[in-house]
A and B are shown apart, each in its own frame.
Chain A
Amino acid sequence: MKNLNISYLYLTLILLTTGSCIEETPNYFEFEGYQFENLDAQGGSWKTILVTDPSLIDIPQPESTNSSLYQAELSALKQQMSGLSPTQTQAVKYWTNNPVLRWNEIALELAAKYNLIPGPNADGTYTLPNPANPVGPPAFPFAHPPYTSRMLAYLSVAQFDALVVTWHYKFQFNRPAPYLTDNTIKPAYASSQLPSYPSDGATVATVSKEILKLMFPLEANYLEDKYQEHIESLVHAGINVQSDIDAGNIIGSEVIKLAKQRASSDGMAKAQTPKNVSDSIANAAFERFGWKWENMETPKRPVGLTPLFGQVKMWNVPSVEEVRPGPPPAPGSKEFETNAAEIKKFAAHMTISQRRIANWWEDGIGSYTPPGHWNKFAKEAIVKAKLNPLRSARVFAYMNTAIMDAGVACWDAKYYYHYPRPIETISGFKTILGTPNFPAYTSGHSTFSAAGAEVLAHFFPADAAQFRAWAEEAAVSRLYGGIHYRFDAEVGITQGKNVGAYAVNRAKNDGAQ
């Protein structure tokens, strides 16, 4: 019986020790609101992307801080702040004073939620998501990498332009934050000289909600709830009164009109082609080069992913042909065989380190995609550098337009060259990553990553080497995963760098340096 007690004592100890080393599994990036490194008082003069002139978006002249109307707003704010529930306090802490980051995170979460490839019907056919019937099945959208890159580009551009306009008026009207007028108000975040009219938080909330509703129509209610929570948190944090918020909403609504207008005519609606168009693209490549890519799934998918994404309107590159690479080595050529032998060797002798790299950068179905991965890096770099919302949005806008342009350029090459995947050219080849439903050359992740890295390297020069090393690792990860040849990855890196340079040049000349 004594033995027995001892053995159960051991068991309890094991239980306690294993229980005590449980790792956190947070649902968002945990950081506190911070003191901005710079307020960018000249930010209202920076070049915008969609808006032609900030002064064309009109907002009312604010009441002065000693007016009775403003004093009434302050009283309302104080009353609300005095009775916050734990949920409201938590919301204030969650949103922080840089809500650009939270809306970006929400966008990534929706990308991961909707990044599901439609399965086959019982009769072996496939039904594609249809924006006219978003409920489906399958639900709209399929947030694959091109879709997600475009979604993030519109989100970030709308946020950036709206914040430039907001900054323009902030420093025109110079109305101080509520807590600077009334020192009985204790703000939830670091005290700041940033003028509070119009509210940058409200501007960001409005544009973000509207872009994401456009991109994820089934999430309208969820987004409305997030928007309300965010707007309320601005008052609860003591940083905005209602008229700040109202003015921010006006700016957001105007910028959204421009974003929606561009999105409706950028060519995305035609990117997913019918089968006859897809077949003619494949045949053109076959006549030109003597090869064509084919889907290898069972049942076979009749059309690859967005064959005409390469024709979607770019942001920073005048024409996609400018960044189209030369042809890959022909299957069967000596150069091809060397490349094929290399990935066969990786597959046969996979090291733990190679496996980790392949999985770390997989960003496959069900994830936030490669563009999402770079948005996570950008977010972390922004917090580390303590950037204000305007400067944060600028980083995201240039990075995400570069990443979408990289996607467009890469997709142009993919369907122009229509190059077969390793599972087609290497008999019996098995991979640890799933092979995607589009041609191999150039590698999407390599192209997205190089473009993202170039832009981040420009904005965060101290970490430039790290960003570029990550892009290289993302590229080679596709070889370990067995879904790309080295030439797909290397040319993809070059293509991504070239595309990224256009965004960097634009950023250098937008007046913010």
Chain B
Amino acid sequence: MKIFIRLTAIAATTICLSMASYAQTPWDEVMMGKGEICTALIYEHSSWDQYWEGTYLRENANIGTFTRQTIMPMIAMGISKKINIIASLPYINTKASGGTQAGQSGIQDLSIAAKVDWLQKQVGKGKLLFLTNAHFSTPSSNYLSDYMPFSLGAGAPEIGLRGIGGYKMDNGIVFRAAAAYLWRGQTEVERDYYYENGSVYSTFMNVPNALNLHAAVGYWAFDNRLRMEATFMSLNCLTGDDIRSYNRPQPTNKMEVSQVGAWVQYFIKSDRGLGALAYFNQTVSGRNMGKATTFGIGLTYQFKAF
């Protein structure tokens, strides 16, 4: 069950709903064998009371504390020892403690990912690893993306390609780094004119492409039943405009975020059957995003199907 359930960085989301779409993507070194299926159910709570308007960190009493809660079912499957498939579909609820604007709830984006193990080579006292992950996600309900920060997601299709490199030592210590390029499409909005550093006469907004980095130092203990990691994540949109003064965000914004966090996963009986996980992320820097604190808990269940 040493699964890839690291969907989380959803955490970061807050203002930037689009974050959710990359989040479900695994970026760790773990693979399952052929016919193994892992199901998971994860609850995530993310909140912020400050956000970056461009690069200026501010408060807004008409938002107060912004909260985003996610329930995400996931399933992962080993097509073969070298190829695993993962799918997820989150349900999200957003609300603000201040102001008079209505929060939202509903199903966000369906994400499907394929993870491939390319290299496992003993080098010194550990194994050198290289994997790739490709994912596609698309909005799965008619939520409105152009209602930030309350909207459930960026409302645009996304394709991501990620390379994952790691070194797993025989004593259980793991070093890992992953880099992904995210191509994002357009989101349809409910107005035919908007301002993005000038007039735009369209019912579509371009959601900027982004670079997404992960790094972790981990340790597998108790015969590989306990996994602990210290994590770092960043996401940088490559183009986009800034939130204007005391204005609301929109999907065209150049969102940037860096987070540090921790991850714990426990497999009750080796790698089959029931497991549990918990994680925590703190946003440390950002742009056009909420400064979110996030935690998640989840249950996993793994079995051999074929």
Contact = CB atoms under 8 A, between A and B. Distances in A.
Contacts of B82: 4
B125 interface: no
Contact of A298 (B61, B79, B134, B146): B61
A113 interface: yes
A15 B135 CA distance: 11
A113 to B, nearest CB: 6
Nearest to A24: B202
A347 B193 CA distance: 25
Contacts of A491: none
B116 interface: yes
Given A4-B83, A15-B183, A359-B144, A27 B134 contact: no
A25 B79 contact: no
Interface stretch (A6-14, A274-282, A442-450): A6-14
Given A365-B247, A431-B100, A431-B101, A112 B159 contact: no
B200 A4 contact: no
A14 B100 contact: no
Interface string B101-124: 111000000000010100000000
B80 interface: yes
B185 interface: yes
Contact of A112 (B83, B103, B114, B195): B195
A108 B199 contact: yes
A366 B100 contact: no
A197 B52 CA distance: 55
B138 to A, nearest CB: 9
Interface in B63-85: 79-80, 82-83
Interface stretch (A115-123, A158-166, A256-264): A115-123
B136 interface: yes
A116 B100 contact: no
A27 B199 contact: yes
Given A18-B185, A355-B144, A362-B191, A28 B201 contact: yes
B195 A360 contact: no
A112 B198 CA distance: 8
B246 A22 contact: no
Nearest to A362: B191
A430 interface: yes
B134 A11 contact: yes
Contacts of B198: 27, 109
Contact of A355 (B103, B116, B190): B190
A113 B99 contact: no
B182 to A, nearest CB: 12
Interface residues of A, number: 54
B191 A14 contact: no
A228 B157 CA distance: 42
Given A27-B200, A297-B62, A367-B193, A119 B245 contact: yes
Nearest to A296: B100
Contacts of A356: 190
B304 interface: no
A29 B199 CA distance: 10
A267 interface: no
Contacts of A347: 102
Interface string B141-161: 010101100000000010101
A429 B189 CA distance: 25
A501 to B, nearest CB: 28
A116 B247 contact: yes
A18 B99 CA distance: 38
Contacts of A196: none
Interface in A95-141: 105, 108-109, 112-113, 116-120, 137-138
Given A26-B202, A117-B246, A298-B99, A366 B83 contact: no
Contacts of B303: none
B199 A11 contact: no
A8 B204 CA distance: 28
Given A14-B159, A359-B146, A22 B186 contact: yes
Nearest to A359: B190
Contacts of B80: 3
B98 interface: yes
Contacts of B194: 366-367
A356 B147 CA distance: 12
B195 A113 contact: yes
B134 A8 contact: yes
Nearest to A429: B100
Contacts of A138: 245
Given A430-B102, A431-B100, A432-B147, A7 B114 contact: yes
A432 B102 contact: yes
B199 A105 contact: yes
A366 B102 contact: no
Contacts of B99: 297-298
Given A23-B204, A366-B247, A431-B102, 10 more contacts: A18-B159, A25-B201, A25-B205, A109-B195, A109-B198, A116-B244, A138-B245, A298-B61, A356-B190, A366-B244
11 contacts: A18-B159, A25-B206, A118-B245, A119-B246, A297-B61, A297-B62, A360-B192, A365-B247, A366-B248, A367-B191, A430-B103
**Considering the complex of A and B, which 4 residue pairs feature the smallest CB-CB distances, nearest first?**
A119-B246, A359-B190, A298-B61, A430-B102
